[in-house]
Amino acid sequence: MPKKIAVVTGSAGFLGSHLCDKLIEKGYKVIGLDNFITGKLENIRHLLKSKNFSFLKHNITKYIDIKGRVDYVLHFASPASPEDYLEHPIPTLKAGSLGTHNALGLAKEKKAKFMLASTSEVYGDPLVHPQPESYWGNVNSIGVRGCYDESKRFAEAITMAYHRVHKIDTRIVRIFNTYGPRIRINDGRVIPNFIYQALDHKPLTVYGKGSQTRSFCYYSDLIEGIFRLMNFRINTPLNLGNPDEFTILELARLVLRLTNAKDKIIFKPLPLDDPKQRRPDITQAKRLLKWHPKIKLREGLKETIAWFRLHS
């Protein structure tokens, strides 16, 4: 039986590259696309030697031309950290709009299954806690973070439109805060920030009082959930993330302990539209996919810190 063929956009990114690894491990052939606006060649260099991986440098806001059969289109291309999308707001909006349109067009042409990597940011600064898939969100569409939040909300809308009109077999995964090896050292998100500062003997920067909460999922748990979702028939959005909730101040203190850093914590004003709470309701993922995160924060941080020590 021939191997199934998956196209992964954003294949050189943090999550995209790990997804490519998983698919190849599971016996798929993978065609990776990336334009390296935030992805890194180092993330997929080991895959370039594999007969089951091919790579095309491509901006997914342009028409995607793939020869031959395609069974899955997995759209993971987009700047994803606040530092990235604040620096690249227009490319971020284009990745969510034009990029999703082109990826859906490829899925339609090839009669392939389609998966959109969406985000917990569609919930904005939530008024419901934890956030179930049924919650419509509280998003400032014209705020500085709107370029990312609204690009993903549009991406979800066009994905569902293609499902309803063109009968494409779609999946939408709403990804909550994820971390682990290959996340960029200068990514700008809180875990790489804290680890970098601790290893560089700098004070850890906490915004506001550090009372805002986040839930952190280790990359291997998330990728397993994504793979299960690929092969389960649910077309509406599904939350994937770790429901264990921590304040940012708790996280900072844990990173200091695990790195044996002697540095202090400094406090700065809270950024605009920074969510006060973020925690996934994963009831559906548990019931439908028989999935739940296994890696505790302390364990995942140890692995991530070890990776940072080798690569910083």
> Is 290:224 a contact under the CB 8 Å cutoff?
no
Name the nearest CA neighbour of 240 among 258, 217, 257.
Answer: 217
Q: Which amino acid is at 265?
A: I
* Residues in Cβ contact with 241 at an 8 Å cutoff, skipping those fewer than 6 apart: 120, 174, 175, 176, 177, 178, 215, 217, 222, 279, 280, 282, 293
179 is catalytic: no
Cβ contact 103:68 at 8 Å: no
Catalytic residue among 72, 85, 123, 148: 148
Strand 72-75: give its sheet, edge to edge.
53-57, 29-34, 5-9, 72-75, 113-119, 170-175, 237-240
Residue whose structure tokens are 């995209």? 16
Place of tokens 């973070």: 145
d(CA 128, CA 72): 34
- DSSP 8-state code for residue 276: S
Active-site residues, by number, are: 148
